[in-house]
């Protein structure tokens, strides 16, 4: 990650933890959850994304990768609904930093897992 110091300031987030969770639970979480997570991840990689936005992003991604959250991810059907809510809220807050390149990167990675 280009600015790992920003991510290190958010407890519970790590690049390794993020990619491990995505790879392990992509199919179970569903396309929308993974696409939102990837949009946030790639938006955080942009050098022009400000620190406040990166804090929002890494906070949401930390919640996504936490093994314990409001609704356990292993719960059938609804397990990732709280993650989706957190990711969607963060995405709405930082949407101005999700440009065409970020969307392209997320779409390519999502397609690699789902198509």
Summarised one tens digit per residue, pLDDT across range 8-32 is: 457 778 888 888 888 887 887 888 8
Q: Which residues of 99-115 are buried (b: 16+ CB within 10 A; e: fewer)?
A: eeebeebbeebbeeeee
Look at residue 52 in the predicted model and tell me its pLDDT: 97
Residue 63: pLDDT band by 50, 70, 90 thresholds? confident
* Predicted TM-score of the model (pTM): 0.79
* Listed residue (101, 84, 86) closest to 35, CA to CA: 84
pLDDT of 48 strictly over 60: yes
Mean pLDDT of the chain: 82
């Amino acid at each position: 990650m280009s600015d790992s110091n920003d991510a290190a300031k958010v407890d519970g987030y790590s690049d390794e933890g993020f990619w491990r969770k995505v790879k392990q639970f992509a199919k179970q979480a569903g396309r929308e959850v993974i696409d939102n997570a990837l949009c946030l991840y790639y938006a955080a990689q942009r050098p022009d994304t400000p620190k406040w936005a990166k804090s929002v992003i890494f906070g949401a991604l930390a919640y996504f990768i936490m093994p314990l959250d409001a609704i356990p991810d292993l719960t059938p059907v609804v397990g990732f609904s709280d993650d989706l809510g957190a990711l969607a809220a963060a995405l709405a807050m930082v949407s101005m930093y999700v440009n065409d390149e970020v969307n392209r990167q997320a779409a390519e990675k999502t397609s690699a897992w789902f198509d």
